[in-house]
Each structure stands twice: as structure tokens, then as C-alpha cells.
Structure 1
């Protein structure tokens, strides 16, 4: 059977740190000292807002506003790794980059919603390795300092150390940067804190077939029995009413598979959701796709139809995401600091 799986879609201004070297006292007997006064190269930092908002989402708009308030240089028209590297090469002006920040939606399993190349595949371990193997990406020039930092503002990306290691190699030039990403959710423009981290929890149901908030809360209780969260209240709460309060939002995750068969007689007739789920159980490739997503097949609304020697399977699940802002243990009214070099809250490679 010949198969073909389509894409699944289900995330400063210019700061110049001018460090002026203190000139040593002039020693008239030492002409060498006059010509070798200490100097520290100027450095620059840049933030790539590497995505755009859809629908009612304001994630990228909020992130841009946050970093503008911190006086970073903002680049908001580079939506692929190819464009980011090309921009860095073109605009470094013989100055080392002290910090390179990339804001992009994604998670630890799916990777980033950032494209590898312009109109190319979305960035994951597999797609990035393929790009590097095929030399599709430009090479980063000698634009880094020995202590340059590469920071990804992508929720839960810090859990995927393998992908971070590949990204570190991709951005290695004259020096190898230190790479940072949080294993938690990262949010901007909160009710009480403009940039904060949160623990994240997921529940699911077939789109347009909500079981109701009470049954949803039971799903969270079963899945996260040790968490001290009032799940029903969290599901009903759409934003923090007070600092640290758990809240939720929903989004849909679609799946589209187009499977081509060599013979018309091999094309299965899948008339309802149960037959589709049985077919998935019998096909390891597609069972593993759902397993990698971490979503059970019964949480999707399934449909299928034939088209010549192909069967097209569509699935859609609604994810209920509950976020619990992370607060300081010794001060439950204060948020943990989003300092990316803090190894308690950020993965560092």
C-alpha cells in the first residue's frame, strides 16, 4: 500500500550594550600600552516575532509589545529559519549578537510553527535534520560572541532537548551559542503580569461533541490526580481573576490524511467513526501518529470518504488547555521571574 500523509495542523529598539574599557594610566615609558588600550566590542540583541495572529489570538502582538517596552530591536517579517539566518547575516554590521530571541508558537512534541525554509515544512527534529542534510539553509556567518545567547519563547519547547540540540548546531558559527527554552507555557500580556510562565494541562473531546464542564473536569481529575487545582472552576475561568488563578482556553486540532491505494478493491469503506477508529488500530503508522500527539483516537470527531483510489480521513479534536501561573513558593502573590538563565525554569544547552 502506497501512502501519503498530509500536514497535520493542530506556539531594547536596537539595544547596544556599550561597554567602554577603562584605559589604563598612561605609562610614558611603555609605548605598547598606548597602542593596546582595552576595548570591548559592541554587542546587539534582536527579537524575531516569527508568526502572526489568527482569529482572536493576540499572542504575537502581545509579545511584540512586551519586547518593544524592553527596547529590543524587533523583526516581525521573518517567518522561517531561512529568513532569520539570512537577516542575521545581512544586518550584523560587524557587531556580535549578544542575544537572539525567537518568539513562535509550538510545543515539545510538534515542534515549532516556524517554517524551516520559505513555504517549507514546519520546524521539527525530522524536518530540520532533512534541511541540514540537504543544505537547504544558509550558514550563519561569524556574527556571534563567545557568550551569545539564543532564546526560544515557545511553550514547552524546553522539554525537547533533542530539537534544541539540533537548533544549537544550526546556529553555531564562529562560536556556539547557549540555547534557552522553558519546559512550561510562556504567556504575554497577562491580567497582572505582562510576561509569565505557567504549568499547562490538557483535556480533549471530539469537536462539536462537548461532554459538558463537569465530565470534562472528571477527565482532568483522572489524568492529573496529584494536582491541587479546582478543575471545574478552572474550565469555567477564561482569565485570571486574581494573581495565580488557573484559567482555560480552547482550540481545535485538525487531522487530515489522504491515503492512496494501488487497487480500487483495496480502498476501505469507512462509514462511521467506529469503523475509522478500528482501521486506525489496524494501521500502525497512523496509530503512532496519534500516539506521538498524545491524544486518544476517541477524542476526535472522525469522517472519511473515497476519492478514486484514495480514502480521505478527517479528524478534529477540541483541546481544553488549563494554565496555572507559576508563583514564587515563598510569596504566592508574586510570579516567578522569567529570567531565561534560571535553570529552575528554563532548559539551558
Structure 2
């Protein structure tokens, strides 16, 4: 098959308290304390709310509220890596960053929804490497402390150590930061805990072709046979009704390809979903694109439309995500602590 260019679209004021004693014996301690405070005063933490909510979604709004309550500096108008690095370079004011937090949606397979450059590609391992190779990103100035922390609040990003390592190199300046991300789902503004982690489990079906909750629960049983979760109850529960109780939500994942064919003879005639799936199976490039999503081909609703020498392929699947809040083993009514330096729940590089 001869094709031309393919266009694809698939998916944190620091307050110091100094107590000075009147006794002359304390003078040396006071000076040491003052010197330490001056060092601390030259550090700062910043949180980038690097995305915006769509429709009824409140993920970024909830995250912003969470970090505002902790008195972090909040930046909510930088939606690309280019803008984040540029902001850090322009606004450090001789204060080194000891913590840089980036809140952004994404996952371990596709990366972040954060753009690499303004209006550029979504941030993934491939797109970031390409940007670095081509020199498209500004270099971070010498604005880090010896123990600077770069924390990504992106669900399941902790599973992708390769991408985290590239991000670590991207943010390396006078010092190399420690990078943190959780391999679990991260949730803000929960019913019983404002910020908590959860295990995420996924089921799929072609959009608008729901098999029903009973059959859907069987899909989860077969896919996760060793999980102690009542899947049918979890699928029916739309929010956390009590601490630790699993709940579910749905969202759609679209795929869209435009393929231009050079010859009329190569132009396929695709009249139904089965023929479209057969065509995809016969084409290694597109089979790989579907496999990279981690979603079976048959879980998408497929359509193909001819426009001259071009065929527009559209696929859409509905994902059912069951969330199981992570609770302390010795106290099942208490959530695990979201301390990003806890290596049991966060990946650290």
C-alpha cells in the first residue's frame, strides 16, 4: 500500500520563627541559627497547574485548591514544558527552587497531556527526546538546590521510569533534581480525604455499545482474578461512599487517522467494523498504534469515511475505571500518606 503523510491524533511564603535568648552564652547558637535561616530563605517551592478542566471535570481546580491551602506559589497558565522552564528561569529572583511540582493528566503509556513546546506535541518519551535533540527547549538556569525535588502529580506516571529519567535530565542544571511520581492514581478533593492514592483497574467496550454492568463485571473478574473487589458493586458506585470503598467512572478514548492513498486500486472499500478491523490487522503500523494504547482492537467502535483519495478512520472506546483507594494495612480506615518521598508509594529517581 502506498500512502502519503499520515496525520494522527490519539490521545507548589515561607514563614520563619527566630527566638533569640538574652543570655550571652547563646550568641553563637543564635548566629548559627540565623545563618541557617538565611539559607532556607533563599529557597522556594512552586506548583504548576499545567492543564485546564473540560466540561464538568474539576481535577485541576481541585489540585489548585489543595496546594493553595498549603501556601505554595501557584502558576496556572503554563501548559507546556517550554513555558515551565522559561517561568522558572525568569522568576527565581536569586532564590533557588527546592521543590517544583507539576500537576498534569496523563498515564504511564502515553506520557503527559502537557505540551513539549507551545502548541507542540504532547509530552512523551519520543517527543521529549526529539525536542532535546533539536534544541527546541530552553535550558534551565542554575536555580536548583543540592536536594531539589521535581514532583509529577500524574496518575501512574511512576510506572514509566524511562520517561522520568529523561525529565530528570531535562531539569538538570547546577544540580540534578530528585524526581518523584506515583505508579498509582492520584486523586484530589476526595469525599473523605482531600488528596489520596488509589489503585486503578480498567475495562473497555465500544462506545455506545455497553454490554451491561453484569457482563462488564465479568470482564474485570477475568482480567484481575486475584483482586478482592466486588466488581459489580464497584462499577455501580459512582463516588466513594465510605472510606476505602471502590468506585468507578467512565470516559471515552478516541482514535483518528487520515490515510491518503496514491492509487485508486489501493483505496479500500470498508463498509463495516469487521472489514475495518481486518484492514488494521493487515497493516503493521496501525496494528502497533492500537496495541500501544493497551486496549484490544475489538473494544473500539470503528468507522471509516472516504474523502477523495483519503480515508478517515475513527475509533472510540469507553473506558470504565474502577478506583480502589489505598488504605493503611494496619488501619483500614486510614488512607496511606501521600508523602512523595515514601518509596513504597512513589517512584524516586
| TM-score after normalising by structure 1 | 0.93
Cα deviation for residue 20 of structure 1 reads 7.3
Residues of 2 paired with 1:345 and 1:147: CA distance? 20
Query: Paired residue for 1:189?
Result: 189
Whether the aligned pair in 1 keeps the contact of 2:158 and 2:182 (CA below 8 Å) is yes
Seen in structure 2, the aligned counterparts of structure 1 residues 20 and 347 have a Cα distance that, compared at 3 Å, is farther
1:305-344 residue pairs with structure 2 within 5 A? 305-344=305-344
State the match for 2:114 in structure 1. Answer: 114
Equivalent in the alignment of 1:79: 79
Q: For 1:257-299, what per-residue CA distance to the aligned partner results, in whole angstroms no more than 9, with x for missing partners? A: 1111221221111110000000111011111111111000110
- Go from structure 1 to structure 2 and tell me whether the alpha carbon gap of 1:37 and 1:251 turns closer, same or farther (over 3 Å shift): closer
Counterpart residue number, 1:209: 209
Contact 1:20 1:40 (8 Å CA) reproduced: no
Gaps of 5+ in 2: none
Map of 2:275 onto structure 1: 275
Aligned to 1:97: 97
Q: Give the whole-Å Cα distance in 2 for the aligned partners of 1:125 and 1:202.
A: 23
Q: What is the DSSP-based 3-state SS (H/G/I as helix, E as strand, rest coil) of the residue aligned with 1:241? A: coil
Equivalent position of 1:40 in the other structure: 39
Deviation at 1:305, TM superposition (A): 1.4
* Unaligned 5+ runs, structure 1: 27-32
Residues in 2 aligned to 1:19 and 1:150: alpha-carbon distance in whole angstroms: 27
Distance of 2:15 and 2:264 partners within structure 1: 67
Contact 1:51 1:114 (8 Å CA) reproduced = yes
Question: Cα distance, 1:2 vs. partner?
Answer: 2.5
Give the aligned length. 339
Aligned to 1:29: none
Matches of 2:61 and 2:35, distance apart in 1: 45
Name the CA distance, whole Å, in 2 between partners of 1:201 and 1:74. Answer: 31
Structure-to-structure mapping, 1:1-349, within 5 angstroms: 1-10=2-11, 15-16=13-14, 25=27, 39-41=38-40, 42-349=42-349
Contact 1:146 1:175 survives alignment (8 Å): yes
Q: Deviations over 1:62-82 (max 9, x none)?
A: 000000011101000000000
In the alignment, the residues of structure 2 paired with residue 300 and residue 37 of structure 1 have an alpha-carbon distance, to the nearest angstrom, of 62
CA distance in 2, matches of 1:203, 1:4: 33
TM-score, normalised to structure 2's length? 0.93
Partner Cα distance (2:207, 2:97) in 1: 45
Residues 2-54 of structure 1, C-alpha deviations (whole Å, 9 max, x = no match): 254434344x7xx337597999856xxxxxx99x9665252100000000000
Q: Distance in 1 between matches of 2:26 and 2:114?
A: 48
Q: 1:92 and 1:21 mapped to 2: Cα distance?
A: 28
Task: Give RMSD over aligned pairs.
Answer: 2.0
Give the 3-state SS of the residue equivalent to 1:16 in structure 2: coil
How far apart, CA to CA, are the structure 2 residues paired with 1:185 and 1:267? 43
Contact 2:4 2:262 (8 Å CA) reproduced:
no
Distance 1:17 1:265, change over 3 A: farther
- Where has structure 1 moved over 4 Å in runs of 4 or more? 17-26, 36-39
Measure, in 2, the Cα distance between the counterparts of 1:217 and 1:40: 56
Distance 1:3 1:293 in 2: 24
* Cα distance between partner residues in 2 of 1:157 and 1:57: 20
